[in-house]
Structure 1
């Protein structure tokens, strides 16, 4: 039986219904796949977990664990061009709010392993050598909280066995307590640290990759809690915490949250909501606060800085540099030329003391630079002497091999001693501000010879004589060989050339056996 054509309207309606059903089905599939992908984001690590870094990956960050909000992730982070570290990253900005910062970073071009086994989180290199681990912890799970806090926990104990909030790198985030027992903040370049004292917090210059203690590292910024009781030795110490309202507060430890001081940010009175805040010790040595607006932000907004002017930063012009306030230009200490960033002198972290002499320590050679109208922004933090003269101030440093420089204030009579490598000085338009500085002399061949021991000198002389004798013998042998060859050539010429050229030609013609 022959089938006829159907009604075109009915056919069009059927096609439209089919298209709608197909779209609905596709949307359902996409929704299911999206939910599945979201469910597959790991938010917890159990004992036995292990993940390996893809050696030489083009990506700069390889996440292995996510917060439930998906705003933060833990994973392998590339540091610089070729190093590897473990980090918690703020995904919208790609900023690492926490880093493990092991003493020896991994190699990005080689595989590394992150494992959670026997209750300990371990980062290991390709040879199995441990780069970093959570110390003295036993846990059942690892989780990344929505606050960015990485925690190792036991099932039966709500308190973390270990948490990254106790071991900050260079950054503090909201509601993270910063205490005297916390690890100090260390700038990413390891040149500066922020440490907490009993009633104050201070920033220190580091000349040994951030390993110096507060007692030895020079202080260049210090803030004391205004309401802390300095005279009461039994008063509890303070701790710090970044608040979402836009300030950094100092509180009495165990004092029921009693706030004793506040560092207010620019947005403190604006009551900003929906922002993520952080406080970071930056590579220039300044402590700054930033915020990130959720949704429409593409950059961090600076909200606070502890040091207002560039010339007040400790290393803004480098070693033996002078910063001119106002235009923030730099000069070299031993030159009046002005530029944006002069390479005055390489940083010299070794002291000027030597124990090579038989009678104990002596001072190595140095050049002296004297200059007026110089000071440092942090002179209040330097050791000083009073009731002295400019000459007495200079002598106090000149005779001490641990002293690198001295600053004398002719108005107050204060003498400030610099017993660490000289960094950025500040220009001050006052002829009563006097400076005396030591710059290590460059090593020369003569000074190297003068510094050799008698035994080394004797061995050097003997070796020189042996080499000179060998050279003379070689020259004599070469001369005799040349003489023998010369005499041999002379004898051959006498045998081959007995007469004039025409005699040779006639001899060749008469003895030629190939004639026609």
Structure 2
């Protein structure tokens, strides 16, 4: 491994890489220098099954952030930029296939950063980049630079995972924020930002929350798109690209408190809510400062697949009965649709009908009007891409769900009815034999049947011969009239 410039302590840091946590490494490094840059030729190997959840390789000069190997869950490996005081990953590489924490993995820098597994298969890399040095800025931005160019060749701020931090621009062309469980996404449109559910690998992305910039003009086709940025004064601002004109502000709880010296982040959490947090020196945890969705029942999956959330108490029930169910879920979650591969028919499904139900995010579902409850149900029943229909008898609105059914909301109104499809679990099928195997099996069966018949016939012939022989012997031994025993004795008196 090549040492970074001005970094005589790198060997000592790497010596404790496999056994020290991120916080311990920083505490032990206060009296010495930190690894603050990686040069071409750098190589580091993850120690298989390391006890520490984070193995730092590179530090920001302020010692608050570090970049290195991160254990995800109990067994997976990723690369991450970690906020050391809280051990929270602000950025992750999130490759399509995570590494295995129990096996070695190698990170190299030779114009680009590349993570490979023990078989030299590439897990992740910075695409189309040529860099001379890798640094971690005090903003937590991981940057690849060329000495001759001021603009970074690659930076983590342009490739977010599930979190935005201070002064990080988020645009319509940015990759979306994806929750760590891969179920939800935060995207920016030309004049709005929205939260999406992720189904079927992101091919189906229904919106469940949306905020349009107040001063943006969607009818103006020439107006530039908006972008978002987290501000240290306690808000998320929306601005017009190019001129930077502010068109909307999402104010946090601390907006009027004029907090200074705090670090802020906005994260798409695994429950699907977009939240903002801040961290102060000496804090024991992140302090919540904003949430896009206020009530649990308004979250898209708070009670799981085919669940029913009761507002106020936030109690969970199942759509097909009244049993309280928070874990396990009422039904297994779906990921695809009910269309058969030929596209001409639906897969088998069961039906659940329920009164007093509604969709929390129905304003994001375009309604069909002037329908009866029966017509609403029929419109979904005959469409293999439809998973459910919710009908409002008061307004005549019919809401069709072209995505797997998640949490519905209880509403005490019998005119609100729902029709929902539940995929049937296919019965196990017997494995089909190839024609050759089937023919051989048939021939063998005929041979065995012939042998069995021949054996039975031979057995019958043997039994018949024995029966006839036994009958002849019995005929020879049939006695005549009994003789006088005395006479028989007198005739043998010479003995």
- Give the TM-score range, shorter chain: 0.7 to 0.9
**Could you say if the C-alpha distance between residues 103 and 339 of structure 1 is closer, same or farther in structure 2, counting changes exceeding 3 Å?**
closer
1:276 is the counterpart of 2:276 = no
The superposition leaves residues 255-278 of structure 1 with CA deviations (integer Å, 9 ceiling, x where unpaired) of: 2x2111111111111111221111
Residues in 1 aligned to 2:265 and 2:328: alpha-carbon distance in whole angstroms = 33
Report the structure, 1 or 2, having the larger helix content. Answer: 1
**Could you say if the C-alpha distance between residues 480 and 443 of structure 1 is closer, same or farther in structure 2, counting changes exceeding 3 Å?**
farther
**Could you say if the C-alpha distance between residues 282 and 461 of structure 1 is closer, same or farther in structure 2, counting changes exceeding 3 Å?**
farther
* Cα displacement (A) at 1:463: 5.7
Residues in 2 aligned to 1:176 and 1:206: alpha-carbon distance in whole angstroms = 24
* Cα displacement (A) at 1:366: 1.6
Is the partner of 2:47 in helix, strand or coil? coil
Compare 369-378 and 331-340 and name the one that shifted more. Answer: 331-340
* Cα displacement (A) at 1:471: 8.4
**Could you say if the C-alpha distance between residues 432 and 44 of structure 1 is closer, same or farther in structure 2, counting changes exceeding 3 Å?**
same
Q: Which aligned pairs between 1:306-321 and structure 2 lie closer than 5 A? A: 306-321=292-307
* Cα displacement (A) at 1:441: 2.2
Give the corresponding residue for 2:399.
Answer: 416
Is the partner of 1:311 in helix, strand or coil? helix
**Could you say if the C-alpha distance between residues 227 and 475 of structure 1 is closer, same or farther in structure 2, counting changes exceeding 3 Å?**
farther
Is the partner of 1:393 in helix, strand or coil? helix
Does the 8 Å CA contact 1:317/1:342 hold for their aligned counterparts? no
Aligned partner (choices 279, 298, 306) of residue 292 of structure 1: 279
Aligned partner (choices 218, 222, 230) of residue 210 of structure 2: 222
**Could you say if the C-alpha distance between residues 340 and 364 of structure 1 is closer, same or farther in structure 2, counting changes exceeding 3 Å?**
closer
Gaps (5+ residues) in structure 2? 1-26, 463-495
Residues in 1 aligned to 2:351 and 2:442: alpha-carbon distance in whole angstroms = 37
Is the partner of 2:233 in helix, strand or coil? coil
Give the corresponding residue for 1:79.
Answer: 72
1:431 is the counterpart of 2:414 = yes
Residues in 2 aligned to 1:372 and 1:461: alpha-carbon distance in whole angstroms = 56
Give the corresponding residue for 1:173.
Answer: 165
Residues in 1 aligned to 2:446 and 2:334: alpha-carbon distance in whole angstroms = 40
The superposition leaves residues 351-399 of structure 1 with CA deviations (integer Å, 9 ceiling, x where unpaired) of: 222245xxx6112222221111101111111232111111111111111
Give the corresponding residue for 1:344.
Answer: 330
Residues in 2 aligned to 1:231 and 1:161: alpha-carbon distance in whole angstroms = 36
Alignment: residue pair count: 439
Give the corresponding residue for 1:380.
Answer: 363
Residues in 1 aligned to 2:341 and 2:46: alpha-carbon distance in whole angstroms = 48
Does the 8 Å CA contact 2:318/2:325 hold for their aligned counterparts? no
* Cα displacement (A) at 1:50: 1.1
**Could you say if the C-alpha distance between residues 474 and 332 of structure 1 is closer, same or farther in structure 2, counting changes exceeding 3 Å?**
farther
**Could you say if the C-alpha distance between residues 327 and 42 of structure 1 is closer, same or farther in structure 2, counting changes exceeding 3 Å?**
same
Give the alignment's TM-score, normalised by structure 2: 0.82
Q: Which aligned pairs between 1:441-452 and structure 2 lie closer than 5 A? A: 441-444=424-427
Please provide the CA RMSD for this pair: 3.1
**Could you say if the C-alpha distance between residues 474 and 94 of structure 1 is closer, same or farther in structure 2, counting changes exceeding 3 Å?**
farther
1:67 is the counterpart of 2:67 = no
Residues in 2 aligned to 1:83 and 1:342: alpha-carbon distance in whole angstroms = 24
**Could you say if the C-alpha distance between residues 437 and 242 of structure 1 is closer, same or farther in structure 2, counting changes exceeding 3 Å?**
same
Residues in 1 aligned to 2:358 and 2:265: alpha-carbon distance in whole angstroms = 33
1:332 is the counterpart of 2:332 = no
* Cα displacement (A) at 1:189: 0.5
Residues in 1 aligned to 2:55 and 2:308: alpha-carbon distance in whole angstroms = 43
